[in-house]
Amino acid sequence: MKYRKVLQNLFLIRKTEELISKEYHKNIFRCPVHLSIGQEAISAAINFVFNSKDLAVSSHRAHAHYIGKGGNIKNMFAEILGLKGCSGGIGGSMHLTDKSVGFISSSAIVGNSIPVGVGLSLSQKMENKKNLTLIFFGDGATEQGVFFESVNFSALKNLPTLFICEDNKYSVYSSLSVRQPENRDILKVVKKMGIEAIEADGNNIFQVIKTYQKAKKYIFSKKKPFFIKFNTYRYVEHCGPYDDDNLNYRPKKEIKRWKRKCPISFFSNYLVKKNIMKNKQIVALEKEIENYIHNLYKNSKNYPRPNFSTTKKLIYNEKSR
């Protein structure tokens, strides 16, 4: 394993999100942001197993997936600033795209991108491609009707779909216990619908990589879809850059427990313990990436504004068919 590269990927996501968090109060971003601080390992592992021809779609919490898939971070900053970034400046944080690395789209409507991902995997199967589609969504999205239609269709047609549920235990302020009957296990539900499903520790990047490898092997050898549930936790508020621990919808003990399981501390401690990297080297790499991200952000401010007179062309209507 390329340890330094793994740590680099983790820092790329954390430092981008921290910068957005620090800058948010200036009111220069033209959209709300949903940060993945605490959930980085699931995205940082992507390019160790999948390549740019494997496609991906995501949800409202898309920055980490976009970066993990290799998306251009400068273009993403520009997009969030309302400039002509990765989605032409008309999408914002929740509608990211970078076709060059196979990151097709993300969507603000919970569950909305799941059938799009299944459609992409259908096209991969029809064109005999040796690639698959990664669909990232939250635990809340598994309560949408379209999730079940998508799982059913993918199972029925034996598509190369990898469903990736980031179970951070909450949908906005609601925990699983107030949303679903006790003991409903999404893995059992999905398995009964005909899809192999496993869960793993989403904060342990070794487990994440291993689980992705297992899923990929299964999808190509059995020619069937696969479902992963990664257990994880977000550290800041549902939408926005601050913590909202004062609202008390999450027990203090629970927050503390998950903060001790920080994916970056976990991996850094491993590297130090095994004498792979010294603490000093880790701190230096962190600083290097922080500066790198800062420069990308600075340069993204020079992008032009979108030309709104052309946006009409982008609206779907009968004539644009």
Given CA atoms 300, 304, 308, 312 in this order, what sign does their dihedral have? negative
Q: Residue 226: what are its φ and ψ, rounded to 5°?
A: -145, 150
x/- track of binding to ligand TPP for residues 48-87 (CB under 6 A): ------------xx--------------------------
- Told to check if 140 binds ligand TPP by CB under 6 A, we report yes
Alpha carbons 211 and 15: distance in angstroms, whole number: 25
Choose which of 138, 202, 225, 306 interacts with Mg ion (CB under 5 A).
138
- Told to check if 141 binds ligand TPP by CB under 6 A, we report yes
54 vs 139, beta carbon nearer Mg ion: 139
Give the nearest distance from C-beta 312 to ligand TPP in angstroms: 25
x/- track of binding to ligand TPP for residues 143-182 (CB under 6 A): -------------------------x-xxx----------
186 vs 282, beta carbon nearer Mg ion: 186
Only one of the segments 1-9, 120-128, 134-142, 217-225 lies at the binding site for ligand TPP (rule: CB under 6 A); that segment is 134-142
Give the nearest distance from C-beta 139 to Mg ion in angstroms: 4
Strands 133-138 and 55-58: parallel
Give the nearest distance from C-beta 24 to ligand TPP in angstroms: 17
Residue 9 partner contact from ligand TPP, Mg ion, none using kind-dependent CB cut-offs of 5 to 8 Å: none
CB 132 within 8 A of CB 162: yes
Choose which of 139, 147, 208, 300 interacts with ligand TPP (CB under 6 A).
139
Residue 79 partner contact from Mg ion, ligand TPP, none using kind-dependent CB cut-offs of 5 to 8 Å: none
DSSP state of 267: H
Alpha carbons 45 and 111: distance in angstroms, whole number: 23
Residues numbered 151-180 forming contacts with Mg ion, rule: CB under 5 A: 168
DSSP-derived 3-state class of residue 290: helix
Residue reference for tokens 């709104």: 308
> For residue 265, what are the CA distances in angstroms to 44, 261, 296?
14, 8, 25
DSSP-derived 3-state class of residue 194: coil
Residue reference for tokens 């007179």: 309
Only one of the segments 132-140, 251-259, 268-276, 312-320 lies at the binding site for ligand TPP (rule: CB under 6 A); that segment is 132-140
- Told to check if 228 binds ligand TPP by CB under 6 A, we report no
Alpha carbons 119 and 114: distance in angstroms, whole number: 9
Residues numbered 237-276 forming contacts with ligand TPP, rule: CB under 6 A: 238
Only one of the segments 65-73, 136-144, 205-213, 283-291 lies at the binding site for ligand TPP (rule: CB under 6 A); that segment is 136-144
Given CA atoms 29, 34, 35, 41 in this order, what sign does their dihedral have? negative
DSSP state of 53: T
Query: Residue 97 has which token pair?
Result: 């795209």
Strands 170-171 and 174-175: antiparallel
Give the nearest distance from C-beta 165 to ligand TPP in angstroms: 9
DSSP state of 305: P
Amino acid at 63: H
Instruction: Please report, as ranges, the residues that interact with Mg ion according to CB under 5 A.
Output: 138-140, 168
**Contacting residues toward ligand TPP, per CB under 6 A:** 60-61, 108-110, 138-141, 168, 170-172, 238
